Structure 1
């Protein structure tokens, strides 16, 4: 793997069966793909990245007002140096904000908490919800392809993620002041959720671990959106689709003296979905590896592992 495969999303409308094979094979080999011609207006992406910069430029005391103790960072602000990759020894060099699904009236699940919006930045809500909705739909299109590839009905995933506790995470990696720090911007990890769609970053640093054990810098066409398999989908597919290890390294100068911004969208199952390996992914050569577990129980277990829940 020199970088990750590029998938042309125009094929979703034009030749779906071939598209499904292309998406499935890309994930089975790499766990990561880049989505081109995805149809999301560049202004929606640019507005969200600009709002992200403005958010993290707010004074520290202002941001801290939006940090909610005991909630595991589920909504609002999570301060610099809080999150740590599973089994890592040093915290990540980042701060972030979580935007969840915006629900009218009583939420269908208690996990769908109300969003927290910074009063100092009125545009933030508008820009983040526009990107949330666009990435939610794009992710569903990818999952339609994967459903067919996995020998399921095309709408298999849609009804299982339509009320998921999916999270948009505007991220800020500040300039690296101590070049000798043992910490990195994001330690080697796998994502917990179903799939992740990553907008940005305009700065280098993201690397993916190949099956041969080499770290590969992710290089993509301008405007593409990176999309990778998370642990929940790996578990559902009995490891047919791999949740690939990745990290964000501290870049060389002059990038190290600059902030890095990106916005991942973590697409989740509805909390009561039971993650049990699909029969189409279990065989004599690949026997069932994991027992069934609800999406919410699995999420809680993993959030404790990375230090967001105590």
Structure 2
């Protein structure tokens, strides 16, 4: 039996056919922890413009890119070089380099201590406007997805609104360079789960993403060009007591000549506000699903714990 396909849903139905959409979206996440979202309203031109500036940055000489690396910063802002991040428990580092864009907040904000100011590459003047525009668009789309999920588990539609409005969310343009050695023990991104509430992956330029099913099979998920892949992260899994699973996924090296092509992708990691307390929701516990997490933890505390595990701190 071939594995069933990970569903793709049109989010415009949240406005036109709400109950059915919420039920279908919730069922997809209970089963897979992943879904494709189309009808999201982010113009293809905006996404293309973002990929253009990201490619131009990654094409810069290594010594130029390293000007924007912040030693000891845990990769929170700016550039992280090739060969640093390592999936939790993995032996080999991931085959990628990346940049982090965070939320722009007033520097007198109570969160300023854990949300540093952004860095912007002066060599690509449009980077700031284009990258932060995409950040804001994905932040808005993520809020709509969370509204639907809140309804699915018996919460108010706006439950997450005041818990993510200053969220420590990250836009991460990634460059996976061409693989030129015939035998490489590393994969482009090792099997892992995401740390945050939900992740929105926009415009992956090549296949390679695989999702592990409940049965342990690796299921390829290459979305159509107009589709954004949205998956559950560990914080939402913990908050919902595993009603929504944070599913293991990876980016594998493609075969043959495709391995010699670079791969670019841009996930948006939607986080709660740093002081949000991740405490199991009462609506997600019961006789058949007792709480797995008796001790709550702040979003910032959880993030720092996980960054150490993946060698970014």
- Give the TM-score of the pair, scaled to structure 1: 0.98
Counterpart for residue 32 of structure 2 = 30
Report deviation, 1:222. Answer: 2.4
- Of the candidates 295, 300, 308, which is equivalent to residue 299 of structure 2? 295
Counterpart for residue 48 of structure 2 = 46
Q: Which sits farther off after the overlay, 227-236 or 213-222?
A: 213-222
Counterpart for residue 245 of structure 2 = 242
Counterpart for residue 8 of structure 1 = 10
Report deviation, 1:172. Answer: 0.2
Contact kept, 8 Å, 2:241 with 2:285, in 1: the verdict is yes
Aligned-residue Cα RMSD (Å) equals 0.9
1:164 aligned onto 2:167: yes
Secondary structure at 1:177 match in 2 = coil
Contact kept, 8 Å, 2:208 with 2:222, in 1: the verdict is no
Counterpart for residue 154 of structure 1 = 157
Contact kept, 8 Å, 2:205 with 2:263, in 1: the verdict is yes
Counterparts of 2:13 and 2:226 in 1: how far apart (Å)? 17
Counterparts of 1:185 and 1:216 in 2: how far apart (Å)? 16
Secondary structure at 1:254 match in 2 = helix
1:208 aligned onto 2:211: yes
Counterpart for residue 287 of structure 2 = 284
CA displacement, residues 195-214 of structure 1 (integer Å, 9 cap, x when unaligned)? 00001212111100011000
CA displacement, residues 76-134 of structure 1 (integer Å, 9 cap, x when unaligned)? 00000000000000000000000000124523302221000001000111110110000
For structure 2, list consecutive stretches of 5 or more residues without a partner in the other structure. none
CA displacement, residues 40-88 of structure 1 (integer Å, 9 cap, x when unaligned)? 1111111111111101001100000000001100000000000000000
Counterpart for residue 304 of structure 1 = 308
Report deviation, 1:2. Answer: 3.2
Secondary structure at 2:256 match in 1 = coil
Contact kept, 8 Å, 1:66 with 1:118, in 2: the verdict is yes
Counterparts of 1:264 and 1:51 in 2: how far apart (Å)? 15
Contact kept, 8 Å, 1:79 with 1:96, in 2: the verdict is yes
1:95 aligned onto 2:75: no
Report deviation, 1:181. Answer: 1.1
- Of the candidates 115, 122, 126, which is equivalent to residue 118 of structure 2? 115
- Paired positions, count: 309
- Of the candidates 124, 127, 132, which is equivalent to residue 124 of structure 1? 127
Q: Which sits farther off after the overlay, 42-51 or 104-113?
A: 104-113
Secondary structure at 2:105 match in 1 = coil
Contact kept, 8 Å, 2:68 with 2:79, in 1: the verdict is yes
- Of the candidates 44, 59, 83, which is equivalent to residue 61 of structure 2? 59
Counterpart for residue 230 of structure 2 = 227
Counterpart for residue 83 of structure 2 = 81
Report deviation, 1:15. Answer: 2.1
Counterpart for residue 264 of structure 2 = 261
Q: Which sits farther off after the overlay, 23-32 or 1-10?
A: 1-10
Report deviation, 1:238. Answer: 0.2
Contact kept, 8 Å, 1:108 with 1:163, in 2: the verdict is no
Secondary structure at 2:119 match in 1 = coil
Counterpart for residue 181 of structure 1 = 184
Counterparts of 2:100 and 2:205 in 1: how far apart (Å)? 20
Counterparts of 2:80 and 2:306 in 1: how far apart (Å)? 17
Counterparts of 2:292 and 2:11 in 1: how far apart (Å)? 32
- Give the TM-score of the pair, scaled to structure 2: 0.97
For structure 1, list consecutive stretches of 5 or more residues without a partner in the other structure. none
